Chains A and B, each alone.
Chain A
Amino acid sequence: QIQLVQSGPELKKPGESVKISCKASGYTFTDYAMHWVKQVPGKGLKWMGWINTYTGKPTYADDFKGRFVFSLEASASTANLQISNLKNEDTANVFCASQGFAYWGQGTLVTVSS
């Protein structure tokens, strides 16, 4: 069956970096884009952008340009999100989603606190 399995929760200090992974299984990874979605605890959903899993080209929403990098390990059917120079406002649950948002990862909670 189709699954997206994300890496575990992260606790970081302001200024540090974090890398979140999303491993896909049950389908051909390069056939579908991978999207990233942010959810601050208790708040709504915000689209961060997507990566073309065939070409590797990323597209970032305006609020996620600069410190955010989408990348692939296509041989491992894995998409990654790296956030650098973490800020308190980056504290959120981050989801990966594929196949037109029909499939979602379980979410990775990133907590930024000094």
Chain B
Amino acid sequence: EIVLTQSPTTTAASPGEKVTITCLASSSVSNMYWYQQKSGASPKLLIYSTSSLASGVPDRFSGSGSGTSYSLTINTMEAEDAATYYCQQWSSNPITFGSGTKLEIK
């Protein structure tokens, strides 16, 4: 099973600040997927195939990486971005998720 380790576990950012969340895989994966989950809601797909923006997602979100190291970047933090973010890999069975990064607004 591929273990995905996210960092940081918790972070806070001021409006307008740049935020980067990292996801390290225990073995190489071909792509990474990123989800946003707000309290009481279902996860929402943000980024697919490492760097492609899902439909309707603001372009302040971006994804990058390869091999075992991937990242999600929010270029300019907005209050509505406060949520928990998860990475996910499908390259290897079973599908696994990272443990999540809680992002708060300062």
A102 at the interface (CB under 8 A from B): yes
Q: Which residues from B are CB-within-8-Å of A102?
A: 45, 48, 54-55
Quick one: which of B38-57 are within 8 Å of A by CB? 42-45, 48, 54-55
Q: Give the A-B contact count at a CB cut-off of 8 A.
A: 42
Which of the four size classes fits the interface of chain A? Answer: 10 to 19
Which of the four size classes fits the interface of chain B? Answer: 10 to 19
Q: Which residues from A are CB-within-8-Å of B96?
A: 47
Chain A residues at the B interface, C-beta cutoff of 8 Å = 35, 37, 44-47, 61-62, 95, 97, 100-102, 104-107
Could you list 22 A-B pairs, sorted by A, with CB under 8 Å? A35-B95, A37-B43, A44-B86, A44-B98, A44-B99, A44-B100, A45-B35, A45-B43, A45-B88, A45-B97, A45-B100, A46-B97, A95-B43, A97-B43, A100-B45, A100-B48, A101-B88, A102-B45, A102-B54, A102-B55, A105-B42, A107-B42
